[in-house]
Chains A and B, each alone.
Chain A
Amino acid sequence: DTGVSQNPRHKITKRGQNVTFRCDPISEHNRLYWYRQTLGQGPEFLTYFQNEAQLEKSRLLSDRFSAERPKGSFSTLEIQRTEQGDSAMYLCASSDAWHNEQFFGPGTRLTVL
């Protein structure tokens, strides 16, 4: 297993465009988390899944954001009508249901022009 992977690593888009990011967790992990990190800050929780069920969403996740994990494996995070304030590093992490240790992917750096 090569760990958590995320694609793309970098995305530059114009304001108003839609973007989609993908996360592939560690294969035996049934929990998947999305976080957002801005420069100089620690990551902030966005949402998490246990298998295919989305169990919690942060108030940070406006209605322009949607996340899915249709088969309980990979997940996608879509941002519609991007705004400059969406520019950040989007991090994905996974864990199993028995331990609180979360392993992070390399992140997707989003820049909205």
Chain B
Amino acid sequence: TQLLEQSPQFLSIQEGENLTVYCNSSSVFSSLQWYRQEPGEGPVLLVTVVTGGEVKKLKRLTFQFGDARKDSSLHITAAQPGDTGLYLCAGPDNTDKLIFGTGTRLQVFP
């Protein structure tokens, strides 16, 4: 069974701080996706990483896929209150359904 574990589970920081969220597995994934979800809404796709070692940037967000394609990280520079939400990593299993991580709930205070 493929599992994705995220850390930390909760993160509460001040505006302007930097942070990193981790997504780890003992299994290899063909790709990993990162989503952000706000209360009462569905997850919104932020990025997909496909190649081992790949780095993608989305404004202040930097995503990295591990060389062995078993882990990924999300780094946010100078966090803003608008970054508040639940961050989820997800990867497809061998039938393409998504396996989701446990989630990281981020709160950024002004």
Contacts and interface: CB of A to CB of B under 8 A. Distances in A.
A41 B100 CA distance: 9
15 contacts: A41-B103, A42-B88, A42-B101, A43-B88, A43-B98, A45-B99, A48-B96, A48-B97, A56-B97, A95-B96, A100-B98, A103-B45, A104-B35, A104-B42, A107-B42
A41 B30 CA distance: 23
A1 B81 CA distance: 30
A104 B48 contact: no
Interface of A: 4, 6, 31, 33, 35, 40-45, 48, 55-56, 91, 93, 95, 100-107, 109
Given A41-B102, A42-B88, A44-B100, A100 B31 contact: yes
Nearest to B88: A42
Nearest to A58: B97
Contacts of A93: 42, 98
B42 to A, nearest CB: 4
Nearest to A10: B40
Interface residues of B, number: 24
Contacts, number: 60
- Describe A's contact surface by its main secondary structure: strand
A104 B33 contact: no
A101 B33 contact: yes
Nearest to B105: A40
A93 B88 CA distance: 15
B45 A42 contact: no
Contacts of A91: 42-43
A1 to B, nearest CB: 15
B44 A104 contact: yes
Of the candidates B33, B42, B102, B103, the one having the most CB atoms from chain A within 10 angstroms of its own CB is B42
B91 to A, nearest CB: 8
Given A41-B103, A100-B31, A106 B41 contact: yes
Contacts of B45: 101-104
Contacts of B88: 42-43
Contacts of A31: 96
